Amino acid sequence: MEQINLAYLESIRQDRQNKTIDCKDCSETMLQYFYTIHNLFKFIKNTFKNFELALWIKSNEVFIKRKNTFHSNDYSIRDIVWVDFGSNVGGELSYEHPCIIVKNEFDKVFVIPCSSSKLSKAYDRTGNLYPEFMIGKRTDGFSKNTAIILNNAKWISKSRILKKHNQRVSKTLYNDIYNKLFQ
């Protein structure tokens, strides 16, 4: 594993002039980048499964294509959209997930992620639903039963939205979500 010079990187962060200097003009910073890529390669090679690597690659391609883009597309509350959350850590959701739009601003939306694969984790051993989850059903606008993950709700850039799902959650479910989220 290559040793990253964190003190150097912090000095770059502290100097505001670095916000205007192209990285290609800074050989030491590019060297630190190379070390990071080398470490990342080793990490991925030793820990990722093929499925996760495919998701990671696809997510990074989305990042590269949308990094400097600006989206102000019009979405409506209750819309279900596909969002790429990128690579995250711990219990944060990563990669692509359907989300419910709760609030819509000019260039950002407040979304609640959903996951049908997290459905079993939404219940405790006695079969009671954990308070940080709600369940969306076909009658609510989903194609299958889906866990609505309230504690992962957040504001995101509209640039993270991959596509609109052409479905909306029911008004009843939306009102229940809104009331539980903002009680």
DSSP-derived secondary structure letter, 119: G
Quick: pLDDT tens for 118-162. Answer: 888 999 999 999 999 999 999 998 989 999 999 999 999 998 999
Work out the angle between the directed axes of helices 27-47 and 6-14 (0-180°, nearest 10). 130
* Closest C-alpha among 100, 127, 126 to residue 113: 100
Percent of all residues in the chain with a pLDDT value above 90, rounded to a whole number: 75
Residue 179 token pair: 């009331």
Alpha-carbon distance values, 156 to 106, 131, 133, 149, 152 (Å): 11, 23, 20, 15, 11
List the chain residues with pLDDT less than 50. Answer: none
pLDDT at 69: 78
pTM for the model: 0.82
HSE-CB at 178 with a 13 A cutoff on CA atoms is 12
The full set of domain ranges for the chain reads 6-66, 79-181
* Closest C-alpha among 170, 172, 97 to residue 138: 170
- Of the CATH numbers 3.40.605.10, 2.60.40.3500, 2.30.30.110, 2.40.37.20, which one belongs to the domain with range 79-181? 2.30.30.110
Cβ(99)–Cβ(111) below 8 Å = yes
Q: How many CB atoms lie within 10 A of CB 111?
A: 27
pLDDT at 183: 80
